[in-house]
Each structure stands twice: as C-alpha cells, then as structure tokens.
A and B are shown apart, each in its own frame.
Chain A
C-alpha cells in the first residue's frame, strides 16, 4: 500500500530565505508526482507535475525534483515571500490511477 510522508509538518522562516520541503513515498511504481498549494479553507492549486521519467520541473521560484528509485521528492522555494505562506501537499499517482496524498507541510513566511 502506497504511503506518502511529508517532512516537516510545519515550517516558519523569515522572508527571503530559500527553503526545501520533503516528500517520500513507499512504492516507487508511480506514474507521476504532483505538488499542490492549499490556502486555508480553500481548494488545491497545482504547482508542478513531474512525470516518472523526469528528474525535475521548474516554475518561477519553484523547483521540484524526483528520485523515483529512492522514493523521494523535494520542493525548493527560492527567495521566499509572505505570499508563499500556505500548506504544500505532495501526491503520487499510482499505476491504478489514484492520487495518494501526504499530510502536507504548513509553511509560514514572516515579513
């Protein structure tokens, strides 16, 4: 059974810092991995999707990496801003088609 774990559960940093969020999964037989952002009480916004054959994806200040064999992904946020404060969710799409989510990392960027 696929399990997705995100570390840390919460993170508080001062504005301007670079930071890394971690995601690990137990079964490497995945189609892709997706990083989402969720603001309090809101739905999910897709940030980046990495196919199983890819190593990384970049969008603006965000860079996501995937090491499928070791079951790990990281989300790197450069020059963090208060507007980046949100919960970040990692999800893997298994070969049955389902998305399996981690519990998220709650990020707070202080001005």
Chain B
C-alpha cells in the first residue's frame, strides 16, 4: 500500500465512449502525475500537476483530458479513444515537482484500459 489509490482497476471501453480514471493520494503531496505504460515500452509521462496547476503536458492527444480539482485528487477524462490507447495507466505523487529535493515518487496500482 503506497498511499496512492486508483479506480477503476480495469476498464473496457468502446471508441465512442466517455470515461474517467480517478487517482487519490493520502500522503499530503503537492505534485501528481499520469503515466502510460504500453507493452514492451518504457513508462511515458503524460501530465504533471504541481499545486493543482498543470506544469507538464508531454504532447498528449486531446482525447486525454486531465483534471486536478485539489492536491489530493487527479482525474484523466477519456473520449473517442483508439485501440492503440490500450495500456496500463499509472498515477503517482511526490512531495513536490521542481527543485533539488529527493521527491521520491509513489505510484498507484494502475488502471488496465482496453479500448475495443
């Protein structure tokens, strides 16, 4: 148990559906992250939020829309996805984002997304 929870754990959706992934951290951290993990590829950073402001958007298609309503919650809204978007989506948090601190990242268990 890392203190970061994600729901749902598994999601199957059609290409015309709209769904949302939820992440919650109970660690009092200021930074939260979304990562995508596809088969046989390194983890790819998608978005970073620091103090509820988006500070990084790694050229992610607009069909992925993040939302951070407060420092403990992070959402990833999904619409009109493609089959190649099927992957494990991981959320993480750290004390802060910028600066020379250790800022160890703690990961949630992930949401396994399948787009049909």
Contact = CB atoms under 8 A, between A and B. Distances in A.
Is chain B found bound to chain A in the same assembly? yes
B109 A43 contact: yes
Contacts of A31: 100, 103
Interface stretch (A45-53, A61-69, A73-81): A45-53
Given A97-B48, A99-B45, A101-B42, A41 B112 contact: yes
Contacts of A4: 42
Interface string B72-115: 00000000000000001010100001111011111111101000
Given A31-B100, A97-B97, A103 B2 contact: no
Contacts of A41: 88, 110, 112
Contact of B108 (A43, A93, A101): A43
Nearest to A49: B104
Interface of B: 2, 4, 6, 40-43, 45, 48, 56, 88, 90, 92, 97-100, 102-110, 112
23 contacts: A31-B100, A32-B102, A32-B103, A41-B112, A43-B107, A44-B90, A46-B104, A46-B105, A46-B107, A49-B102, A89-B43, A91-B43, A93-B103, A97-B48, A97-B97, A97-B98, A97-B99, A98-B48, A99-B105, A101-B42, A102-B42, A103-B41, A104-B42
